[in-house]
């Protein structure tokens, strides 16, 4: 069973700061998901990555498969980035996702 | 852009009642999932569905739960006799292929409150 750990659990930043959220997992996987959950509860998929780095706007995700570690970075953070960021690892023959507990990010103006 | 939809957005029910949560996955997707998130906790896997049958279920998915794809488009989760501890946000998700590197697309969720 894959254990997915995230840090930090809570993160408060000032607008414009560079943000890093970390994720580690215990069982080797071929890809990792980063998701965003807003206060209303809906989940949006941000990235699915299997190697290296992916960039989407101000969001950058990196993964090191050998070290079983991934990071999500937000450059020039903005209050609208405030949300819970969750990493999730697919596993098993049906690729069900095992989720981390999430990181609550609050960006203050 | 195609999206996964779920209805209702919020369901309030009395303990012991049956509820049906509905999902319409993206039309060309082949794998379907239900996940749930109890308030303040992490999202948990309930069940996966492929080729018109359950492909995997978690320990949570006991005899009180069932899933169906009744008409080729809807994907439903039924809870036969709800308990207080079933109160949670329920998310449907779907993906297109059978590979590990597929994105799962999530619906907006149904918030179930059992009184």
Q: Which residues of B touch A97 (CB under 8 A)?
A: 33, 35, 43, 45, 93, 104
The string of pLDDT tens digits covering residues A27-41 is 777 789 999 998 877
Q: What percent of chain B has pLDDT over 90?
A: 77
Question: What's phi and psi for A37, nearest 5 deg?
Answer: -125, 120
Mean pLDDT, range B79-105, rounded to an integer: 87
One-character DSSP codes across chain B: ----EEE-SEEEE-TT--EEEEEE--TT--EEEEEEE-TTS--EEEEEEETTEEEEE-TT--TTEEEE-TTSS-EEEEESS--GGG-EEEEEEEESSSSTTPPPEEP--EEEEE-
Interface residue ranges in chain A relative to chain B, Cβ cutoff 8 Å: 29-31, 33, 35, 40-45, 48, 50, 86, 88, 90, 92-102
Task: Give pLDDT, residue B70.
Answer: 83
Query: What is the rounded distance in angstroms from the CA atom of residue B94 to the CA atom of residue B105?
Result: 5
Residue B101 has pLDDT above 80, yes or no: no
What is the rounded average pLDDT for all residues in chain B? 92
Which segments of chain A have a pLDDT < 70? none
Query: Per the structure block, which two tokens stand in for B56?
Result: 């995997």
Residue B65 has pLDDT above 90, yes or no: yes
One-character DSSP codes across B19-32: EEEEEE--TT--EE
């Amino acid at each position: 069973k894959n254990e997915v750990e995230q840090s930090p659990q809570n993160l408060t930043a000032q607008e414009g700061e560079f943000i890093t959220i970390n994720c580690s997992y215990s069982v080797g996987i071929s890809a990792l998901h980063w998701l965003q959950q807003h206060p209303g509860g809906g989940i949006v998929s941000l990235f699915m990555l299997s190697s290296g780095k992916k960039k989407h706007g101000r969001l950058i995700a990196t993964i090191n498969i050998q070290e079983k570690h991934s990071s999500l970075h937000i450059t020039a953070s903005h209050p609208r980035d405030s949300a819970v960021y969750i990493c999730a690892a697919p596993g098993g023959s049906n690729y069900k996702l095992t989720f981390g507990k999430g990181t609550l990010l609050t960006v203050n103006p | 852009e195609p999206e996964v939809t779920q209805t209702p957005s919020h369901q309030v029910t009395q303990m012991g009642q049956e509820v049906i949560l509905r999902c319409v996955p993206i039309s060309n997707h082949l794998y379907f999932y239900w996940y749930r998130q109890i308030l303040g906790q992490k999202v948990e896997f309930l069940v996966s569905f492929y080729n018109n049958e359950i492909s995997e279920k978690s320990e949570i998915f006991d005899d009180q739960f069932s899933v169906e794809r009744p008409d080729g488009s809807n994907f439903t989760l039924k809870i036969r006799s709800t308990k207080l501890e079933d109160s949670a946000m329920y998310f449907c998700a779907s993906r297109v292929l059978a590979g590990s590197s597929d994105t799962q697309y999530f619906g907006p969720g149904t918030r179930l409150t059992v009184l």
